[in-house]
Amino acid sequence: MSTEPAPSKKNNRTLIALIAVIGVLLLALIALVFFILGQGSAVDREPTGLNSSTSPSSSPGASPSESSSEGPSESPAGEAAPPEDESTRFTAFNAPTTVTCDAGNEDYQPPKPTLMVSWASANAVQAWYSPGDQDAKDKNYMQVPLSGNQNDFTDEHLFPCFDQGPSRDYTITLVGPNGEHVSKTWTVTDLSR
Per-residue model confidence (pLDDT) at position 7 = 56
pLDDT tens-digit profile, the chain (193 residues): 555 555 566 778 888 888 888 988 888 888 777 777 766 544 444 444 333 333 333 334 444 444 444 455 555 666 788 888 999 999 999 999 999 998 878 788 888 899 999 999 999 999 999 999 999 999 999 999 999 999 999 888 888 888 778 999 999 999 999 999 999 999 999 998 7
Cβ contact 121:149 at 8 Å: no
Per-residue model confidence (pLDDT) at position 86 = 92
> Which amino acid would we find at residue 172?
I
Model confidence, pTM: 0.57
Right CATH for 90-190 from 2.60.120.920, 3.40.50.1240, 3.40.50.970, 2.60.40.10: 2.60.40.10
Per-residue model confidence (pLDDT) at position 53 = 37
- Domain residues of the chain, as ranges? 10-41, 90-190
Q: Which helix (H) or strand (E) holds 157?
A: none
Cβ contact 158:115 at 8 Å: yes
Q: Which helix (H) or strand (E) holds 192?
A: none
The residues near 138 (Cβ < 8 Å, ≥ 6 apart) are: 173, 181
